[in-house]
Amino acid sequence: MITRRTLAATALAAAAMPARAKSPIVPLVIAHRGASGERPEHTLAAYTLAIDQGADFIEPDLVATKDGHLVVRHENEISGTTDAASRPEFAARKAEKVIDGEKITGWFTEDFTLAELKTLRARERLPAMRPGSATFDGMYAIPTYQEVVDLAKAEGRRVGRAIGTYPEMKHPTYFAGIGLPLEQRLADTLRTNDLDSRTAPVFVQCFEVEPLKTFGKIGKARRVMLVGQGPAPVDVKSAAGIKAIAAFAEGLGPEWPLVIPTTGGVLGAPTELVGWAHAAGLQVHPWTVRAENAFLPKSLRRGTSPADHGDVEAVFKAIYAAGVDGVFSDFPGLAVKARG
């Protein structure tokens, strides 16, 4: 009998192989910021729930503190995911900055020490969309990447299967420009934890090309180039473009409609992207499948509210059928169920 544990173990073992196997792909389930549809994102509670739901990898976004620690937040601006804006002792930290060409006002991790950030508490980023998750506001601290690695190892022992981490370097060019480069800090953390290898349960992801190249000079973990549907620094519309990505990455993380396009509110036929990537030796891990109507094509929406859950299983099934090697989701339990 094939169990969830067997499927998960097979998926993780396949991910650890440096070359693509000839056997059928068992796609990885990657918990996007943890089970972030059900708990405030990037908290140890969200990661633990994702593991309980069967996720193979948990994804932490990495930003830096003033004193050089890697902490886990979606952005370095944290007023939307913590209670920083309501804390009078940090009122003077409010600032306006230009991050990757965009002017942003708020509270930023690089203006806090780790000890100061640890006094803040996480909150749901989309409370109107995810009121159930918002009931956990104020309960959890901001974790460091080391804490996430420790959790993955401890939870792996508890559930009897390896759990990987899938760190994303956020705004690495910006952080390098203020004297807090992320690449070396990440490489050092992986090395300290015996995770600095092609076969370790780690993928390092980024939307920027040069930081991935830099990381490849100082670390051995597999790299994944992230690409959205809009303008991108790489070409994913041709086999030649994707082959060029393979010169500095081992995987490709496309926004999921680049694999399964939606036209007229319905799911279309798969593009050639997965085939091109596999021919170039790249794994393909699309992002991010969410269950709410607001994030689904019109034909798959159910109910009347943007927050209602639609037929997300149809999206998972279509993506899996396209031959991907993994998928990111805010709802890893649903991704596991569809995979099974």
Q: Are 81 and 123 in contact (CB under 8 A)?
A: yes
Query: Could you tell me the two tokens for 196?
Result: 């600095």
DSSP bridge pairs for 103:
98
- DSSP H helical ranges for 135-208: 145-159, 172-177, 182-192
Using pLDDT thresholds of 50, 70 and 90, give the confidence band for residue 23: low
Amino acid at 186: L
Three-class SS string for 27-40? CEEEEECCCCCCCC
Question: Two tokens at 264?
Answer: 């007229």
Quick check: is 285 catalytic?
no
Handedness of CA 84, 71, 51, 291 (dihedral sign): positive
Report, as an integer, the average pLDDT of 138-160: 98
- Please confirm, yes or no, whether 32 is among the known catalytic residues: yes
Q: Indicate if the pLDDT at residue 256 is higher than 80.
A: yes
pLDDT at 22 over 90: no
94 lies in some domain? no
Which single residue is written with the structure tokens 């519309």?
237
What is the CB-side half-sphere exposure of residue 109 using CA atoms within 13 A?
Answer: 31
Residues 156-174 have a mean pLDDT of 97
pLDDT over 90 for what percent of the chain? 92
* Backbone Cα Rg of the chain: 19
| Domain-embedded: residue 180 | yes
In whole angstroms, what is the distance from residue 169 CA to residue 213 CA? 12
List, for residues 90-128, the tens digit of each pLDDT value: 999 999 999 999 999 999 999 999 999 999 999 999 999
Give the β-pairing of 266-267 and 262-263.
Answer: antiparallel
pLDDT, tens digit, 9 for 90 and up, residues 185-197: 999 999 999 999 9
How many domains does the chain divide into? 1
Looking at residue 12, its pLDDT comes to: 53
Please determine, for residue 20, whether its predicted confidence score (pLDDT) is greater than 70: no
pLDDT number for residue 25: 77
CB 111 within 8 A of CB 66: yes
Dihedral sign (CA 186, 258, 209, 102)? negative
The separation between CA 238 and the C-alpha centre of its own chain, rounded to angstroms, equals 25
Residue 104 within a domain: no
Provide the pLDDT confidence category of residue 11 given band limits of 50, 70 and 90: low
Domain assignment present for 186: yes
Is pLDDT at 6 greater than 60 in this prediction? no
Residue 106 resides in a domain? no
- Tell me the whole-structure pTM to 2 decimals: 0.92
Q: Is 321 exposed, middle or buried (0-12, 13-18, 19+ CB in 10 A)?
A: exposed
DSSP 8-state symbol, 292: B
- If you count them, how many residues does the chain have? 340
- Output the average pLDDT for the chain: 94
Instruction: Give the active site residue among 42, 74, 171, 285.
Output: 74
DSSP-derived letter for residue 92 is G
CA pair distance 285, 42, nearest whole angstrom: 19
Kindly report the backbone phi and psi dihedral angles of residue 223, in degrees, each rounded to the nearest multiple of 5, phi listed first: -110, 145
Judged on CB neighbours under 10 Å (0-12, 13-18, 19+), 16 is middle
Q: 335: Cβ–Cβ under 8 A, 6 or more apart, which residues? A: 29, 55, 289, 316, 327, 329
In this structure, are residues 291 and 312 in contact, taking their beta carbons and an 8 Å threshold? yes
Strand (E) or helix (H) holding 328 = strand 326-329
Q: What is the CATH number of the domain that holds 21?
A: 3.20.20.190
When comparing pLDDT for 276 and 2, which is higher?
276
In a domain, 105, yes or no: no
pLDDT at 206 over 70: yes
Asked if residue 101 is part of any domain, the answer here is: no
For 321, the domain range is: 4-68+142-339
Residue 136 within a domain:
no
Give the pLDDT score at 252: 98
pLDDT bracket for residue 19 (50, 70, 90): very low
**Is the model's pLDDT at 15 over the cut of 70?**
no
